[in-house]
Amino acid sequence: MKRAGGSPTVALNAKGIRMKEEGIDVLSFAAGEPDFDTPEAVKAAAAEAIRRNDTHYTSAAGTIALRRRIVRKLWEENGIRASEDGIIVTPGAKPALYAALMSFLEEGDECMVLTPAYPSYRSGILMAGAEYVPVPLRFEDGFVVTREMLEAKVTARSKMLIVCSPCNPTGHVLTKREVHDIADFVLEHDMLLVSDEIYEKLIYDGREHLSFGAIPEISDRVVTLNGLSKSAAMTGWRIGYSASSPELARVMLKMQQNTVNCTASFTQFAAITAFDCAAETERMRQSYLERRDLICDGLNAIPAITCPRAEGAFYAFFRIDWRDMSAGELADTLLDKAGVLVVPGTAFGEGGEKCIRMSFAADRASLQEAVRRMRELFA
């Protein structure tokens, strides 16, 4: 725990909430969370489960009904052949990530991470006692990873690689080429692959989401992480899952049995309904897409800013070249001088220098006002 950091995204979100509570004029884009409410049908299913007294412990891996629904989803939507005993339902994707890291990493192991990356990867690796090995990607190249970049970081102790597509924070969606290079790489070096697919439904401009678990040659070495926080706007419900071979799941299940025990029972019942909310998810995606363009067009009109269009997820990850300021200095200046709360790119590790992450899961008026304030500040 001494080596791990706190989560900068969670901490900055809390800061924004506190500032608002104190009546301070702040526009907060720090949180990575849908601004939609959970679909009505999901809420009704949870209320009904509570009334029915489905309020007891479930089996640690999750209810059979939900695990069966996840198995069907993985097959129909991702081409992943999972079985019930390869699924563990967790209170959010985060505990599934943590279970994978604690289960398969130990002292001396190295875990590679494509950066900029979700900060909890690094902390989880360090909490497991292993070494964090960043593979820095470049803003100028659209954060594309190549086989050479991976090979440059591999050692005899490389045990695992973590990837996230669509990526938080960069918005990059792995191409077919990258997916195959990564698959070949982990196979050749006998590594495990943790594939964080929590943003799979939020993908734009006709791009396609590809799941590593669907590639037969490597499916037994992949732990897929997913959940309903983003696709069904269910962050506060705490519902996620891991999908892997039953052999890997058996190990991870020990973590679940000894820590959280099980995911809240009525959340699990409601989750079954959430898997049938494709129309709502699509409406949310359309709305994020409109706001992506709003923010990108607005920011790109400011000479100091270069804002690529996110290929997926709901973050603008843009570069500011202004007075040679670092990402941290830029984020501080935005807060102090413009009342705009964002996350500095370097909170996501190497590759985020001079960059800012701004969630566009925010109302249009706030996004427009933030652009106006930034235009004024950087004029």
Tokens 């470049």 sit on residue: 138
Q: Which is nearer to ligand PMP, 94 or 221 (CB)?
A: 94
Looking at 59, 146, 175, 235, which residue binds ligand PMP (CB under 6 A)?
235
With CB cut-offs between 5 and 8 Å by kind, which of ligand PMP, ligand GLU, none does residue 196 bind? ligand PMP
9 contributes a contact to ligand GLU by CB under 6 A:
yes
**d(C-alpha 200, C-alpha 316), whole Å:** 17
Tally Cβ neighbours within 10 Å of residue 197: 23
Q: 240 contacts which partner out of ligand GLU, ligand PMP, none, CB within 5 to 8 A by kind?
A: ligand PMP
Site for ligand PMP contains 164 (CB under 6 A): yes
Q: How many residues bind ligand GLU (CB under 6 A)?
A: 8
| Residue 259 contacts ligand PMP per CB under 6 A | no
Contact 274, 344 (CB under 8 A): no
- 119 lies in the site for ligand PMP, by CB under 6 A: no
Give the number of other CB atoms < 10 A from CB of residue 146: 14
**Residue 240 makes contact with ligand PMP by CB under 6 A:** yes
Query: Does 32 contact ligand GLU by CB under 6 A?
Result: yes
In angstroms, give the least distance from the CB of 196 to ligand PMP. 5
Report the phi/psi class of residue 62: left, alpha or beta, with left for phi > 0 and alpha for psi in -120 to 50: left
Provide the minimum distance between the beta carbon of 86 and ligand GLU in the complex, in angstroms, as a whole number: 24
Residues 6+ apart with CB under 8 A from 140: none
Which of 213, 298 has the CB closer to ligand PMP?
A: 213
Residue 98 C-beta: closest distance to ligand PMP, Å:
10
How is residue 120 written in tokens?
Answer: 């909890």
Q: Give the dihedral sign, CA 160/92/350/34.
A: positive
CB atoms within 10 A of CB 337: 13
Q: In what order do the strands lie in the sheet with 343-344?
A: 305-306, 315-320, 355-359, 343-344
Q: Which of residues 118-137 bind ligand GLU (CB under 6 A)?
A: 120
Binding of ligand PMP by 213 (CB under 6 A): no
CB under 5 to 8 A by kind: which of ligand PMP, ligand GLU, none does 273 bind? Answer: none
What is the rounded distance in angstroms from the CA atom of residue 182 to the CA atom of residue 178?
6
Does 10 bind ligand GLU (CB under 6 A)? Our answer is: yes
Q: Kindly state whether residue 198 participates in binding ligand PMP, applying the rule CB under 6 A.
A: yes
Distance CA 28, CA 335 (A): 9
Nearer to ligand PMP, 98 or 378 (CB): 98
Q: Does 11 bind ligand GLU (CB under 6 A)?
A: no
Query: Could you tell me the two tokens for 69?
Result: 């629904």
Burial bucket for residue 50 (CB in 10 Å: 0-12, 13-18, 19+) = middle
Least Å from the CB of residue 226 to ligand GLU: 13
Cα–Cα distance for residue pair 306/115, rounded to 1 Å: 19
**Residue 196 touching ligand PMP (CB under 6 A):** yes
CB 292 within 8 A of CB 316: yes
Which residues of the shown chain bind ligand GLU in the complex (CB under 6 A)?
7, 9-10, 31-33, 120, 168
Contact residues: ligand PMP, CB under 6 A: 32, 92-94, 118, 164, 168, 196, 198, 227, 229, 235, 240
